[in-house]
């Protein structure tokens, strides 16, 4: 079966029934599926039952059936809907619309003090407020909305638009007058009321958003497009440096640590030794920002459970998690001209290695193209394993290219060079986003060090956030979950045998990488924000629902 051409078809004559037919490259099979209608069960859940009606296999006398349950872990369409109609009760919809109107009307009596207080109380840090070219400019950092930076931008920009009214602009112009001995406040009513938000990550300017406030308030109220809304990553740092700041570094982020909790899993799936063998641990990652772009990153592993084959003396024991600090690194990142990011990392990793690494990436102005280089070199502390084998150095020299089509929630990337185990080859990955859930399909072709030929693998992985949409406020210790937990399976192809992969295609990937920490997992781009503008509004509606209703 599945050795040759295969195909299937489904037909749904009734809302609760599907008829299924398939050819599995060997025989024809037919079945029926019965399932509960969409919306019948709470939380988007759905139950179904399937039964094989006919098959040409020898097992045709057997009764083959199945029962299935599906429950969405999170919505995949949260970036696209345009109306506050996701609540089922009519009075809740009315309450949400009224709460939105009340929030947007606050600009009529708000000043700069109330604007700063609102942002501070919501937990944004490194807040700066100033002016440039008659605009109110706000720079801030989001560490509360960790699923996607578009959520933090959406909440912050809406709060600024809701507070930046005539009084706030008059306050700003009066302060400018006092600093420049000019008379600009008298022209405040005649000038367009424009605002700019500069998003900081670890105090580095990464994205700027410009809009006219009334246009953006109309967008929040109706969902209709705001033509004055513009995004920019190329000049974010330049714009930040050119701004005259009146209020600086409110809620300073220095030393505000994050304690990031996450499960971590080592596993062997469908081997000759067992269907599923695993070692499960709790990873506790203490991440402490220092000055701009600098941070300390320490991770502690606490073993929770092992399957039999991961126990001491068994086959996979060498891969079982131990009670240890397995990572202690110092990171320093720089934002260079022309959308270039570079980060240097040095310290202790993998529980037994000292060394250093650098990753450097360039992104095009729209963010559709990304080119990167990764270099690393790590030397083992212990020369020999417990069984007497010599422990080898770990190093990598890799180049990568990524092309993004956010209109279709799709990215494709190519990576090649020398991987951590000394193997050389290339890897192609197709990534598909469902909201903030990502599914990756990959093909790896690598030649082991001192090997005779290339080995080929295909892999499938999914990544989901394991933390609330709105985390606790980032005080001097913020406890939260991980922004992206990944589970991957991989199998050998193009070979009559399917020997277990010994670690080919491994690269230097950390929680605090450029892609995850600064690039919003490849989504900190003009193209992404333009394609998901409704996500800004939806984030604010969700914020109102959680905090005002």
Mind giving me the DSSP string for 453-484?
S-EEEEEEEEEEEES-SSPPP--SEEEEEEEE
pLDDT tens column, 225-237: 999 999 999 999 9
262-292 residue pLDDT tens? 999 999 888 888 889 999 999 999 999 999 9
What is the pLDDT confidence band of residue 240, given thresholds at 50, 70 and 90?
Answer: very high
CB count within 10 Å of CB 423 equals 21
Q: What is the pTM of this model?
A: 0.85
Q: Indicate the fold that domain 257-518 takes in CATH.
A: Porin (2.40.160)
Quote the pLDDT of residue 221.
92
Confidence (pLDDT) at 75 = 52
Per-position DSSP letters for 362-424, written without gaps between them: EE-TTSSEEEEEEEEEEEESSSB-TTSPBPPPEEEEEEEEEEEEGGGTEEEEEEEEE-TBS-E
pLDDT for the residue numbered 87: 44
d(C-alpha 111, C-alpha 282), whole Å = 46
> CB-based burial of residue 505 (10 Å sphere; 0-12 exposed, 13-18 middle, 19+ buried)?
buried
pLDDT, position 201: 96
pLDDT band at 487 (very low <50, low <70, confident <90, very high): very high
pLDDT reading at 208 higher than 80 = yes
Q: Which tens digits make up the pLDDT trace of 102-125?
A: 998 988 888 899 999 999 999 999
Report yes or no: 271 and 500 within 8 Å, Cβ to Cβ.
yes
Calpha distance 409→389 (Å, rounded): 46
With 90 as the cut, is the pLDDT of residue 136 above it?
Answer: yes
- 492/455 Cα distance (integer angstroms): 8
Distance of CA 9 to the CA centre of its chain: 34
Task: Report the C-alpha gap between 237 and 205 in whole angstroms.
Answer: 5
pLDDT band at 191 (very low <50, low <70, confident <90, very high): low
Q: How far apart are CA 404 and CA 253, in angstroms?
A: 32
Alpha-carbon dihedral angle through residues 166, 131, 252, 340, given to the nearest 10 degrees: 130
How confident is the model at residue 130, as a pLDDT? 94
pLDDT category at 84 given cuts 50, 70, 90 is very low
Residue 210 host element (H or E): strand 204-212
> What's the mean pLDDT in 243-272?
91
pLDDT, residue 187, reads 47
Question: What does the pLDDT look like over 367-384, one tens digit per residue?
Answer: 999 999 999 999 998 877
Reduce the DSSP state of residue 119 to 3 states and report it: helix
The single residue listed with the structure tokens 């949260």 is: 78
In angstroms, the CA 127 to CA 203 distance is 10
Given a cut of 80, is residue 71 above it in pLDDT?
no
Other beta carbons within 10 Å of 37: 10
- Residue 209 contacts residue 150 (beta carbons within 8 Å): no
Neighbours of 4 (CB within 10 A): 9
pLDDT higher than 90, residue 468? yes
Give the contacts of 406 (CB within 8 A, at least 6 positions apart). Answer: 523, 525, 527, 528, 530, 531, 532
State whether residue 8 is helix, strand or coil: strand
Residue 55 has pLDDT above 60, yes or no: yes
Q: Which residues contact 466 (CB under 8 A, 6 or more apart)?
A: 262, 263, 481, 482, 485
Q: Report the alpha-carbon distance of residue 83 to residue 130 in Å, rounded.
A: 33
Give the residue, 416 or 383, on which the prediction is more confident.
416
Q: How confident is the model at residue 343 (pLDDT cuts 50, 70, 90)?
A: very high
pLDDT of residue 348: 94
Whole-number percent of the chain with pLDDT over 90 = 65
Do 273 and 279 contact (CB within 8 A), yes or no? no
Average pLDDT over residues 475-488: 94
Q: Is the pLDDT of residue 81 over 70?
A: no
Residue entry with tokens 């974010």? 236
pLDDT computed for residue 186 by the predictor: 46
Residue 183: predicted pLDDT: 54
Question: Dihedral of CA 265/270/273/274: which sign?
Answer: positive
Question: Which of 110, 149, 359 lies closest to 236, judged by CA?
Answer: 149
Least confident of 41-50, 285-294, 351-360, 521-530: 41-50
pLDDT of 86 above 50: no
**H/E segment holding residue 213:** helix 213-222
Q: pLDDT averaged over the chain? A: 89
Q: Is the pLDDT of residue 83 over 60?
A: no
Q: In what order do the strands lie in the sheet with 46-55?
A: 7-14, 17-23, 28-35, 46-55, 65-70
Q: Where in the chain is the domain with CATH 2.40.160?
A: 257-518
* pLDDT score for 60: 55
Reported confidence tier of residue 524, pLDDT bands at 50, 70, 90: very high
> What is the Cα–Cα distance from 450 to 443, expressed in whole angstroms?
22
Q: How far apart are CA 263 and CA 284, in angstroms?
A: 9
As a whole number, mean pLDDT of residues 86-90 equals 49
């Amino acid at each position: 079966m599945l050795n040759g051409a295969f195909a299937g078809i489904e037909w749904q004559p009734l809302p609760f029934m599907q008829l299924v037919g398939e050819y599995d490259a060997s025989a024809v099979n037919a079945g029926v599926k019965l399932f509960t209608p969409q919306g019948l069960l709470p939380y988007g859940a759905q139950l179904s039952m399937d039964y094989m009606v006919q098959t040409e296999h020898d097992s045709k006398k057997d009764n083959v059936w199945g029962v299935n349950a599906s429950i969405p872990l999170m919505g995949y369409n949260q970036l696209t809907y345009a109306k506050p109609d996701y609540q089922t009760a009519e009075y809740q919809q009315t309450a949400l619309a009224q709460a939105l109107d009340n929030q947007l009307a606050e600009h009529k009596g708000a000043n700069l003090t109330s604007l700063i207080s609102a942002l501070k109380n919501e937990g944004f840090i490194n807040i700066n407020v100033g002016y440039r070219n008659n605009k109110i400019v706000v720079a801030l950092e989001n560490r509360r909305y960790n699923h996607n930076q578009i959520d933090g931008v959406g909440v912050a920009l809406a709060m600024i638009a809701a507070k930046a009214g005539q009084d706030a602009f008059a306050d700003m112009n009066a302060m400018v007058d006092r600093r420049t001995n000019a008379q600009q406040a008298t022209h405040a009513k005649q000038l367009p009321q424009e605002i700019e938000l500069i998003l900081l990550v670890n105090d580095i300017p990464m994205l700027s958003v410009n809009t006219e406030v009334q246009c953006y308030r109309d967008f929040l109220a109706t969902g209709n497009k705001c033509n004055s809304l513009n995004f920019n990553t190329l000049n974010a740092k330049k714009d930040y440096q050119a701004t005259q700041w009146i209020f600086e570094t409110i809620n300073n982020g220095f030393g505000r640590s994050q304690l990031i909790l996450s499960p971590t899993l080592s596993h062997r799936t469908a081997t000759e030794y067992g269907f599923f063998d695993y070692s499960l641990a709790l990873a506790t990652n203490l991440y402490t920002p220092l000055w701009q772009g600098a941070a300390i990153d320490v991770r502690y592993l606490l073993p929770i459970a092992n399957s039999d084959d991961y126990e001491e003396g068994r086959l996979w024991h060498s891969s079982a998690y131990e009670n240890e600090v397995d990572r202690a690194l110092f990171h320093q990142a720089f934002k260079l001209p022309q959308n270039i990011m570079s980060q240097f990392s040095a310290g202790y990793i993998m529980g037994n290695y000292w060394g250093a690494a650098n990753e450097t990436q360039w992104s095009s102005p729209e963010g559709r193209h990304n080119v990167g280089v990764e270099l690393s070199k790590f030397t083992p502390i212990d020369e020999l394993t417990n069984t007497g084998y010599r422990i080898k150095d770990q190093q990598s020299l890799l180049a990568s290219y990524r092309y993004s089509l956010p209109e279709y929630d799709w990215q494709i990337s190519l990576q090649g060079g020398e991987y951590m185990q000394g193997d050389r080859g290339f890897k192609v990955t197709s990534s598909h986003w469902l909201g903030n859930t990502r599914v990756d399909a990959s093909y790896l072709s690598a030649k082991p060090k001192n090997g005779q030929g290339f080995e080929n693998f295909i892999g499938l992985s999914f990544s989901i956030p394991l933390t609330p949409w709105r985390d606790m406020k980032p005080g001097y210790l913020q406890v939260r979950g991980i922004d992206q937990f990944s589970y991957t399976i991989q199998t050998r192809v193009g070979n009559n045998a399917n020997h277990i992969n010994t670690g080919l295609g491994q690269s230097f990937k950390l929680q605090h990488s450029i892609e995850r920490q600064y690039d919003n997992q490849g989504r900190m781009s003009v193209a992404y924000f333009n394609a998901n503008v409704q996500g800004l509004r939806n984030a604010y509606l969700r914020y109102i629902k959680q905090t005002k209703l």
